[in-house]
């Protein structure tokens, strides 16, 4: 397995909608294993394929390092589709491996229902709430070309501009590999 450099704010692939996966191939399984290794190395809880430069509609979630989720097993979401969003919204501070050191309050639905393929190409539907739902929605956003700055008010986005410029120019101190200019 390999630790891949993470794409960061300003990398064009993060603003593009990803392409659906047509089949689960050996190459895709290797990519997913590399994504898991990369996410663990960066101490993340989720990672989308385009965050490592791969234009596939895939993301992974692993919450076992989070209090209350110790028995969680990693989940691979292939070609996910959000079917339902709850009317109840919750605002919580979020971070992102593609936005090193940046944190911002983001409003998201408290509960969702999502359909996806697993690595056996079986269709799965699950309901998720609380932190699990938030991570799914955050990673799903990556697949549709959205990031935290796209989900906050103009006032908050304005306050983030200096940090965003530093990230875009790679002038951030971070202990995991990121893409180069």
Tokens of 41: 């190395």
CA atoms within a 13 Å half-sphere pointing along the CA-CB vector of 137: 27
Choose among 36, 34, 31: nearest CA to 46: 36
Smallest CA-to-CA distance from 172 within 82, 117, 95 is with 95
Catalytic residue positions, numbered: 139
Token pair in block for residue 83? 């079917």
What pLDDT does 181 receive?
A: 82
How far, in Å, CA of 108 to CA of 112, rounded?
Answer: 10
Q: What is the pLDDT of residue 133?
A: 98
DSSP string, 49-72: GGGGT--BSEEEE--TTSTT-TT-
Q: Where are the domains of the chain?
A: 12-168
Q: What is the pLDDT along the chain (181 residues), one digit of tens a residue?
A: 899 999 999 999 999 999 999 999 999 999 999 999 999 999 999 999 999 999 999 999 999 999 999 999 999 999 999 999 999 999 999 999 999 999 999 999 999 999 999 999 999 999 999 999 999 999 999 999 999 999 999 999 999 999 999 999 999 999 999 999 8
Fold of 12-168: Peptide Deformylase (3.90.45)
């Amino acid at each position: 397995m390999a630790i891949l450099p993470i794409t960061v704010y300003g990398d064009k692939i993060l603003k593009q909608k990803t392409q659906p996966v047509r089949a689960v191939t050996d190459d895709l399984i290797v990519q997913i294993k590399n994504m898991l290794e990369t996410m663990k190395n960066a101490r993340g809880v989720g990672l989308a394929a385009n965050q490592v430069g791969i234009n596939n509609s895939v993301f992974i979630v692993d919450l076992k390092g989070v209090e209350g989720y110790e028995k969680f097993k990693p989940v691979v979401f292939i070609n996910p589709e959000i079917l339902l969003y709850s009317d109840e919204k919750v605002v919580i501070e979020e971070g992102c491996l593609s936005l090193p050191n940046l944190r911002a309050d983001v409003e998201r639905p408290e509960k969702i229902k999502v359909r996806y393929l697993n690595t056996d190409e079986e269709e799965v539907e699950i309901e998720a709430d609380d932190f699990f739902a938030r991570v799914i929605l955050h990673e799903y956003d990556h697949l549709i070309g959205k990031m935290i700055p796209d989900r906050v008010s103009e006032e908050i986005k304005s306050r983030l501009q200096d940090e965003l410029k530093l990230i875009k120019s790679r002038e951030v101190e971070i202990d995991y590999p990121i893409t180069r200019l």
